[in-house]
């Protein structure tokens, strides 16, 4: 059986065209949406990888910092490489800081302890 | 067949011109059969794929399109009381294999063995077979893993795995313990707080494209896995460092079989430092025997010897059976008793009870203990926590041995008074001593100061177990114990210039490991110190097991106390009276004026 448009009216033809356009449009929207989703997926994954790398680097640096600040290591460098010695108890001088009298402060005097050799 | 007649309406249709009709018909039939057979094969195959094997193949396709990844929350970080990192996790590469995809197991094993610390024989064994997964090396060195991946060997892969690191090495090794390959706590704090430290786990289904790239998570229920709780310890890394440095020095000089030091804040029960030798580095836990990471401070009770006289004296003073200035006859150093005579190392006649403690007279202590009697002495020791666990968070704690009076022999009262016939852990002794230091409150010792999870911090509060003596009796006892560290006491080497140090030495013979009695020449030397004596901020116990050469607590353990307590007190801002002091106008951080410097130096 052969179909032709000859028997259709203009309205019916217009409707058919609209339906066709809508179907094709919807298909394109769907495909476009899918493409956007795929693209977003790649970008999310890339961002996740970057985040993981940065977190990894952060952990590395934290551990490196903790390892380098090991007190036994610092003491070894001070003693062996810089020739420093621990002050004897009587070599220590306690320096008490008091606020100048012209500008009275409610804060209590604070102090620090220095070896005599530290005072320059 | 007859020919049509002439003139007939019908004419016979001409025969088609077929040169060889027979064979052609056969070929067509054959072609038809072949096509039909091919269709049949396709149909059968389709049926097999779509019906018979549909389930399995769908699952396989699903596996190829989807990748399930397991996200584990990071194990919590452990820091000291000032936020210095002591244990933390980091991702490191692990090498895995898909043996079914490995083309030549022997050649692959040889190549890998050149780069990894695994034998080629062991590798070859793992690479053979039709399995789809085998570990080649977990937690590999990142550089080595990179070189392995650069070889592009078929069937060899790399996956990131989280590994525990202890950046301070052996520092605090026995306290932190360690976590295994799968991040499960196996000893120490790691084990005791494993459920809090370990992170949550989330399985996430991801889509993969034709190139195997991850595209987008399926479903919208993605949530991050929970991060394990972070722990803040009561430990102070600086004090811990002083302790461990002096322990190393002691191990070198006296070569004992083991030694331990514990430092406590008596007001709260917080443990500020705790170290054991022989050392243990949790980064290399696999190289040690189980015995090496045992925290002897809480697992190994020992006969404490004379340090127990502190608690006998506390019980006696609190009960009012003696005063510190009361004269006690020490019988010239020899007291005959049922079950064997009691002797003093140095003979004394009449000396005050304060001197009994300062000179560590066994006879004087026995006489005061006799006034108390077995029940009161036992009850006093129990009040101080002996014979029961302290309740510290760590596992494996021993409660020591304190027999009840109904099991005592005629010799037990004098022995128990001077720290024999009973055993206690260093943790029990320092906990009891902290009660003397803080005015009579027995505090529960603890190591974890705070637990932080999801931004919420739970701070652990100190727990007072019970009052064990009056504040007045505790103050008097501390005052009496200062004489121990003075020139005539048993531990002048524990004295710190500018501070009043209360202390007590202990030199205990070790019980024989087999049979009864004590081993000849084997001692446990100890020193228990509190400083400043008037208001102690630090209580410290040094225990040295079987030192070579000198073995007295006052000569072996007391110097360790002094070497640790001096810098620790300065660090805590508790200055000695002997410090020269200059006052300058200004603020910390400013340059000290030259004139002030000259005055200070002068």
**pLDDT tens digits, B564-592:** 999 999 899 898 876 677 777 666 666 66
Interface test with B, best of A54, A63, A68, A78 (most B CBs within 10 A): A63
Q: Is A101 on the interface with B (CB under 8 A)?
A: yes
Which uninterrupted H or E stretch holds B506?
Answer: strand B502-511
Determine, for residues B167 and A44 on separate chains, whether the beta-carbon distance falls below 8 Å: no
- Cα dihedral sign for B86, B92, B98, B104? negative
Helix, strand, coil shares of chain A, percent, nearest 5, are 65, 10, 25
Q: Which residue of B has its CA nearest to A112?
A: B588
Determine, for residues A70 and B167 on separate chains, whether the beta-carbon distance falls below 8 Å: yes
Contact B275, B260 (CB under 8 A): yes
Residue among B144, B140, B185 nearest B166 (CA): B185
Q: Which residue of B has its CA nearest to A39?
A: B215
How many whole angstroms separate alpha carbon B473 and alpha carbon B438?
A: 11
For B113-181, the three-class secondary structure string (H helix, E strand, C coil) is HHHCCCCHHHHHHHHCCCCCCEEEECCCCHHHHHHHHHCCCCCEEEEEEEEEECCCCCCCHHHHCEECC
Interface test with B, best of A58, A89, A90, A98 (most B CBs within 10 A): A89
Determine, for residues B587 and A112 on separate chains, whether the beta-carbon distance falls below 8 Å: no
Determine, for residues A89 and B578 on separate chains, whether the beta-carbon distance falls below 8 Å: yes
Q: Tell me the C-alpha to C-alpha distance, in Å, between residue A35 and each of B94, B210, B241, B571.
A: 35, 15, 59, 64
Name the one residue in this structure whose structure tokens are 């070889």: B151
| Domain-embedded: residue A110 | yes
| Domain-embedded: residue A20 | yes
B152, B156, B160, B161: CA torsion to nearest 10 = -150
Cα of B540 vs its chain's centroid, Å: 21
φ, ψ dihedrals at B392, nearest 5°: -60, 155
Q: Note which residues in 46-85 of chain B have CB less than 8 A from chain A.
A: 84-85
CA distance A20 to chain B (A): 32
- Can you list the positions of beta strands (E) in B234-352? 258-265, 270-277, 327-329, 334-335, 342-343, 350-352
How many whole angstroms separate alpha carbon B496 and alpha carbon B567?
A: 10
Q: Is A113 on the interface with B (CB under 8 A)?
A: yes
Q: Which of B268-272, B290-294, B412-416 has the lowest mean pLDDT?
A: B290-294
Tell me: do A37 and A66 sit in the same domain. Answer: yes
How many whole angstroms separate alpha carbon B526 and alpha carbon B296?
A: 14
Q: Tell me the C-alpha to C-alpha distance, in Å, between residue B342 and each of B14, B321, B518.
A: 147, 21, 15
Contact B189, B78 (CB under 8 A): yes
Determine, for residues A59 and B90 on separate chains, whether the beta-carbon distance falls below 8 Å: yes
CA distance A70 to chain B (A): 6
Q: Is A53 on the interface with B (CB under 8 A)?
A: no
pLDDT tier at B23 (50, 70, 90 boundaries)? Answer: low
A57 compared with A89, residue with greater pLDDT: A57
How many whole angstroms separate alpha carbon B535 and alpha carbon B256?
A: 33
| Domain-embedded: residue A81 | no
| Domain-embedded: residue A5 | no
pLDDT tier at B73 (50, 70, 90 boundaries)? Answer: confident
Q: pLDDT at residue B198 above 60?
A: yes
Tell me: do A92 and A67 sit in the same domain. Answer: no
| Domain-embedded: residue A34 | yes
Name the one residue in this structure whose structure tokens are 């925290």: B295
Q: Is A117 on the interface with B (CB under 8 A)?
A: no
- How many structural domains does chain A have? 2
pLDDT at B323: 95
* Six token digits for residue B458: 């739970």
Contact B493, B558 (CB under 8 A): yes
Q: pLDDT at residue B345 above 60?
A: yes
Q: What mean pLDDT comes out for the span A47-54?
A: 87
pLDDT at B417: 95
Q: Which residue of B has its CA nearest to A49?
A: B214
pLDDT at A120: 36
Each residue's pLDDT tens digit, B37-51: 999 999 998 888 888
* Among candidates B575, B590, B597 on the partner chain, residue whose Cβ is nearest the Cβ of A94: B575
| Domain-embedded: residue A114 | yes
CA distance A81 to chain B (A): 18
Q: Say if strands B327-329 and B334-335 run parallel, antiparallel, or are unpaired.
A: unpaired
Q: pLDDT at residue B83 above 60?
A: yes
Determine, for residues A98 and B584 on separate chains, whether the beta-carbon distance falls below 8 Å: yes
* Six token digits for residue A62: 């934290």
DSSP-derived letter for residue A69 is T
Q: What mean pLDDT comes out for the span B227-237?
A: 95
Tell me: do A59 and A35 sit in the same domain. Answer: yes
How many whole angstroms separate alpha carbon B82 and alpha carbon B232?
A: 8
How many whole angstroms separate alpha carbon B27 and alpha carbon B45?
A: 26
Q: Which of B84-93, B358-367, B388-397, B508-517 has the lowest mean pLDDT?
A: B508-517
**What are the residue numbers of the active site of B?**
306
Tell me: do A54 and A93 sit in the same domain. Answer: no
pLDDT tier at B15 (50, 70, 90 boundaries)? Answer: low
Q: Which residue of B has its CA nearest to A63?
A: B167
Tell me: do A18 and A65 sit in the same domain. Answer: yes
Q: Which residue of A has its CA nearest to B245?
A: A72
Q: Tell me the C-alpha to C-alpha distance, in Å, between residue B364 and each of B121, B188, B350, B355, B378.
A: 71, 41, 9, 9, 18
Q: Collapsing DSSP states into helix, strand and coil, what is residue B3? A: coil
Q: Collapsing DSSP states into helix, strand and coil, what is residue B441? A: strand
Query: Rg of the Cα trace of chain A?
Result: 40
Q: pLDDT at residue B179 above 70?
A: yes
pLDDT at B515: 67
Residue B258 pairs in a beta bridge with: B545
Q: Is A98 on the interface with B (CB under 8 A)?
A: yes
DSSP-derived letter for residue B546 is S
pLDDT at B232: 97
* Among candidates A64, A97, A113 on the partner chain, residue whose Cβ is nearest the Cβ of B570: A113
Q: pLDDT at residue B245 above 60?
A: yes
Q: pLDDT at residue B510 above 60?
A: yes
CA distance A23 to chain B (A): 27
Determine, for residues A60 and B90 on separate chains, whether the beta-carbon distance falls below 8 Å: yes
Delineate the domains of chain B, giving CATH numbers in brackets.
68-233 (3.90.1310.10), 237-571 (3.40.710.10)
Please give the ipTM for the structure prediction: 0.72
Q: What mean pLDDT comes out for the span A5-15?
A: 77
pLDDT at A112: 54
- Can you list the positions of beta strands (E) in B166-300? 178-179, 185-187, 201-208, 214-217, 230-233, 258-265, 270-277
How many whole angstroms separate alpha carbon B263 and alpha carbon B282?
A: 22
Q: State chain B's mean pLDDT as an integer.
A: 88
C-beta contacts of B518-521 below 8 A and 24+ residues apart: none
Q: Is A49 on the interface with B (CB under 8 A)?
A: no
pLDDT at B220: 47
Tell me: do A19 and A60 sit in the same domain. Answer: yes
Tell me: do A22 and A53 sit in the same domain. Answer: yes
Tell me: do A24 and A59 sit in the same domain. Answer: yes
Determine, for residues B89 and A59 on separate chains, whether the beta-carbon distance falls below 8 Å: yes
Determine, for residues B580 and A114 on separate chains, whether the beta-carbon distance falls below 8 Å: no
B138 compared with B449, residue with greater pLDDT: B449
Determine, for residues A40 and B591 on separate chains, whether the beta-carbon distance falls below 8 Å: no
Tell me: do A66 and A103 sit in the same domain. Answer: no
Q: Tell me the C-alpha to C-alpha distance, in Å, between residue A49 and each of A53, A93, A110, B204, B217.
A: 6, 54, 49, 15, 14
* Six token digits for residue B505: 């030495």
pLDDT tier at B481 (50, 70, 90 boundaries)? Answer: very high
A55 compared with B593, residue with greater pLDDT: A55
Give A95's contacts in chain B (Cβ within 8 Å).
581-584, 592, 596, 600
How many whole angstroms separate alpha carbon B222 and alpha carbon B205?
A: 9
Interface test with A, best of B582, B589, B594, B599 (most A CBs within 10 A): B582
Give A85's contacts in chain B (Cβ within 8 Å).
none
* Six token digits for residue B115: 């780069």
- Tell me the residue range of the domain where A109 lies: 87-120
Q: Is A86 on the interface with B (CB under 8 A)?
A: yes
Q: pLDDT at residue B215 above 70?
A: no
Q: How many CB atoms lie within 10 A of CB A108?
A: 9
Query: Measured at the alpha carbon of residue B435, what is the angle toward residues B431 and B438, in degrees to the nearest 5?
Result: 125
How many whole angstroms separate alpha carbon B514 and alpha carbon B499?
A: 44
pLDDT tier at B13 (50, 70, 90 boundaries)? Answer: low
Tell me: do A113 and A60 sit in the same domain. Answer: no
How many whole angstroms separate alpha carbon B144 and alpha carbon B118?
A: 12
Each residue's pLDDT tens digit, A18-36: 999 999 999 999 999 999 9
Tell me: do A32 and A58 sit in the same domain. Answer: yes
B214 compared with B457, residue with greater pLDDT: B457
B161 compared with B352, residue with greater pLDDT: B352
pLDDT at B438: 97
Q: How many CB atoms lie within 10 A of CB B532?
A: 21
| Domain-embedded: residue A98 | yes
| Domain-embedded: residue A80 | no
Q: Note which residues in 222-251 of chain B have CB less than 8 A from chain A.
A: 237-238, 241, 244-245
Contact B76, B228 (CB under 8 A): yes
Tell me: do A22 and A58 sit in the same domain. Answer: yes
How many whole angstroms separate alpha carbon B536 and alpha carbon B27?
A: 113
């Amino acid at each position: 059986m052969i179909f032709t448009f000859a028997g259709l009216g203009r309205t019916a033809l217009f409707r058919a065209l609209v339906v066709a356009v809508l179907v094709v449009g919807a298909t394109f929207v769907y495909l476009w949406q899918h493409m956007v989703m795929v693209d977003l997926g790649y970008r999310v994954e890339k961002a996740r990888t970057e985040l993981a790398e940065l977190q990894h680097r952060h952990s590395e640096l934290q551990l490196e910092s903790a390892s380098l600040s090991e007190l036994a290591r610092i003491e070894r460098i001070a003693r062996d490489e810089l020739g420093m010695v621990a002050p004897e108890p009587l070599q220590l001088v306690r320096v008490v800081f008091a606020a100048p009298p012209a500008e009275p402060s409610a804060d209590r005097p604070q102090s620090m302890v220095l070896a005599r050799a530290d005072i320059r | 067949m007859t020919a049509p007649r002439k003139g007939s309406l019908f004419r016979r249709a001409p025969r088609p011109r077929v040169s060889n009709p027979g064979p052609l018909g056969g070929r067509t039939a054959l072609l038809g059969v072949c096509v039909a057979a091919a269709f049949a094969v396709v149909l059968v195959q389709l049926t097999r794929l779509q019906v018979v094997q549909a389930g399995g193949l769908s699952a396989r396709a699903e596996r190829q399109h989807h990748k399930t990844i397991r996200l584990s929350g990071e194990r919590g970080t452990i820091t000291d009381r000032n936020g210095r990192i002591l244990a933390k996790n980091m991702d490191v590469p692990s090498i895995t294999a898909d043996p079914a995809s490995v083309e030549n197991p022997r050649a692959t094993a040889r190549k890998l063995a050149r780069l990894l610390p695994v034998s080629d024989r062991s590798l070859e064994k793992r690479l053979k077979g039709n399995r789809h997964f085998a570990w080649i090396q977990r937690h590999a060195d990142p550089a080595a893993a990179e070189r392995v991946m650069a070889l592009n060997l078929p069937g060899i892969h790399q996956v990131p795995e989280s590994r525990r690191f202890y950046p301070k090495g052996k520092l605090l090794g026995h306290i932190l313990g360690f976590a295994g390959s799968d991040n499960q706590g196996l000893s120490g704090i790691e084990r005791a707080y494993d459920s809090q430290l370990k992170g949550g786990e989330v399985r996430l289904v991801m889509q993969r494209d034709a190139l195997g790239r991850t595209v987008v998570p399926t479903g919208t229920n993605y949530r991050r896995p929970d991060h394990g709780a972070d722990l803040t310890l009561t430990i102070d890394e600086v004090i811990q460092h002083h302790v461990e440095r002096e322990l190393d020095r002691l191990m070198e000089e006296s070569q004992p079989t083991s030694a331990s030091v514990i430092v406590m804040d008596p007001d709260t029960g917080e443990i500020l430092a705790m170290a054991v030798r022989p050392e243990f580095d949790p980064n290399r836990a696999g190289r040690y025997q189980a015995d090496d990471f045992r925290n002897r401070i809480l697992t190994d009770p020992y006969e404490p010897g004379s340090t127990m006289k502190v608690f006998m004296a506390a019980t006696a003073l609190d009960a009012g059976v003696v005063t510190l200035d009361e004269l006690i006859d020490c019988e010239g150093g020899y007291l005959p008793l049922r079950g064997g005579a009691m002797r003093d190392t140095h003979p004394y006649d009449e000396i005050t009870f304060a001197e009994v403690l300062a000179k560590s007279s066994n006879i004087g202590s026995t006489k005061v203990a006799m006034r108390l009697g077995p029940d009161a002495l036992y009850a006093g020791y129990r009040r101080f926590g002996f014979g029961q666990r302290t309740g510290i968070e760590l596992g494996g704690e021993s409660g020591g041995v304190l027999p009840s009076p109904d099991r005592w022999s005629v010799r037990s009262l004098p022995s128990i008074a001077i720290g024999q016939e009973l055993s206690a852990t260093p943790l029990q002794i320092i906990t009891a001593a902290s009660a003397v230091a803080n005015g009579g409150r027995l505090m529960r010792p603890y190591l974890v100061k705070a637990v932080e999870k999801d931004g919420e911090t739970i701070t652990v509060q100190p727990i007072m177990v019970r009052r064990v003596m009056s504040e007045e009796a505790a103050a008097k006892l501390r005052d009496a114990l200062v004489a121990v560290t003075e020139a005539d006491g048993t531990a002048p080497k524990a004295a710190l210039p500018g501070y009043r140090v209360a202390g007590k030495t202990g030199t205990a013979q070790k019980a024989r490991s087999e049979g009864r009695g004590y081993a000849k020449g084997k001692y446990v030397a100890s020193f228990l110190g509190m400083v400043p004596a008037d208001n102690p901020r630090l209580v410290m116990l040094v225990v040295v097991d079987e030192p070579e050469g000198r073995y007295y607590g006052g000569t072996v353990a007391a110097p360790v106390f002094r070497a640790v307590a001096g810098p620790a007190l300065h660090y805590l801002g508790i200055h000695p009276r002997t410090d020269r002091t200059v006052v300058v106008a200004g603020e910390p951080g400013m340059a000290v004026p030259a004139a002030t410097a000259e005055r200070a130096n002068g």
